[in-house]
Structure 1
Amino acid sequence: MKANKKDRLPHEREWQLQEAKNRLSQVVDSALHDGPQTITLRGKPAAVLVSFEEFKKLTQPRSTLSQFFRQSPLHDTELDLSRSADFSREVEL
């Protein structure tokens, strides 16, 4: 059973795991030049091989954490960070 075509990008190619193992150089070359390569296991998508540049784009934060908080609509909200002096409650597990 092949992956649903609507779930893949138009340039993705599917490789059965055994074929990908036997032709790893070609799979890597295709990922570098043609885009993501899907590897299937028992007919179902199991992994995607992407170029290192694509991986960096996908995993790089879009902004720093401080920028995120500055851009938040709640950036002017004051938080009460004081600790409660109440005793803890028993919880039955």
Structure 2
Amino acid sequence: MLMAHANHHWTVADAKARLSELIESARREGPQTITKNGRSTAVLVSVEEWERKTTRSGSLAEFLLNSPLRGADLDIERSQDDAREIDL
């Protein structure tokens, strides 16, 4: 049986030596952080987690319609300053 790695953090050396266990831990326990020289450098996630995080749900219009600020009485003033000049 595979043993869970402490705190979901793996050194590069451990990740290379125990890749199958790292992959299984990502699948069962969630994202696994890989460190190099004591610093977090990468995160391994399962395909299911990746798809859940990267799949777009809804449109921008739906997002705006569902905003908690919809209907709020916001007083937004537009700047009356002249446009700035830029060199093209």
User: TM-score, normalised to structure 1's length?
Assistant: 0.59
- DSSP 3-state at the match of 2:87: coil
Shift of residue 52, structure 1, vs aligned partner: 0.7
Which residue identity is paired with 1:43?
G
Deviating runs (4+, > 6 A) in structure 1? none
Q: Report the equivalent of 2:59.
A: 64
Aligned twin of 2:87? 92
**C-alpha distance 92-66 of structure 1, shift in aligned 2 (>3 A):** closer
Give the number of the structure with larger relative contact order, counting CA–CA contacts within 8 Å between residues 6 or more apart.
1
Q: Number of paired residues? A: 70
* Residue identity matched to 2:60: L
Q: Percent identity?
A: 42
TM-score for both structures, normalised by structure 2: 0.62
Contact 1:38 1:46 in 2 (8 A): yes
- Taking the TM superposition and a 5 Å limit, the aligned residue runs for 1:1-93 are 12-71=7-66, 73=70, 91-92=86-87
